[in-house]
Amino acid sequence: MQQMELDSILDFLRNKTILVTGATGFLAKIFVEKILRVQPNVNKLYLLVRANDAKSALQRFNTEAVAKDLFKVLKEKYGTNLQSFLSEKVIPVAGDITFENLGVKDSNLIQEMWRDIDVVVNVAATTNFDERYDVAFALNTLGAKNVLNFATKCVNIKLLLHVSTAYVSGEKPGLILETPHRLGEALNRSPGLDINTEKKIIEEKLKELSSDETANDKSITLAMKDLGIQRANKFGWPNTYVFTKALGEMILGHLKGNMPLVILRPTIITSTYKEPFPGWIEGIRTIDSLAIGYGKGRLACFVGDPESVIDV
């Protein structure tokens, strides 16, 4: 059954043109490497990278993705032909999902993308739990809307895959169903959740802080972080990250129209399991500090319920 499912996915990816946002992020580059390795007959991958221009975008992709050990299996497979293969399949694009048309400035390139793209995979996000509210809202909420708007202009679009998080469901015991988040529906059922209102609250707070002569970058950052936590808690979410991701889901669900939309909600993301090889990770993420502490003998025990289920 698993092999049949894999074959079905590989058939779907054949000759497809895919846009991946947040392409130098941890999850996105694992996704990109996997596609290039298992389906080399993909047509091409547009990789949206925060950069000033196409040259800088290519440099970031090579430095932050291709140069990593993650790509060593591809390097072994293609050897000296790897760069030729990548130049044929991969097009790094300078852009930013917080802007209209994803910040792509080349009008000819935009038209080409709208004509060619079959699949959009939105992985761009800030995953900091206590991110500044304005930053998290721009990326995780309004950014999702910008990606949807871009996808609707792709004449051959077959799928918009949006990567969210399981923790948009909040902290609660028992079975948690994969139910969609409805626009304006708070986790704790509090009234008044409105995305436009949240946008205005952010704008007013920034205006207030900018007019405060005693404010500096540090105090403004702290104030915006506090605002995010306050707004999240008001409506039942534990932190700014999951709150703004939930708002992003709401926007997509409300505005998708006929767009074929899949929202993926992963749980705790750690290292690679089997492919391209076991154990690849970048930095110390989520529960990795516990694994490292235990492995080095510095964490002899950890208080917890032995009956608990953890999903990684």
Q: Is 241 a catalytic residue?
A: yes
d(CA 138, CA 140): 6
Q: Let me know: does 14 contact 42? Beta carbons within 8 Å.
A: yes
Q: Which of 46, 241, 273, 294 is catalytic?
A: 241
Q: What tokens appear for 106 in the block?
A: 């080349």
d(CA 235, CA 193): 7
d(CA 304, CA 292): 18
Q: How far is CA 105 from CA 46, 48, 95, 140, in A?
A: 15, 12, 8, 22
Q: Which of 245, 256, 273, 274 is catalytic?
A: 245
Q: Let me know: does 122 contact 27? Beta carbons within 8 Å.
A: no
Q: Let me know: does 102 contact 95? Beta carbons within 8 Å.
A: yes
Q: Let me know: does 10 contact 2? Beta carbons within 8 Å.
A: no
Nearest to 166 by CA among 106, 85, 238: 238
> Which residues are designated catalytic?
241, 245
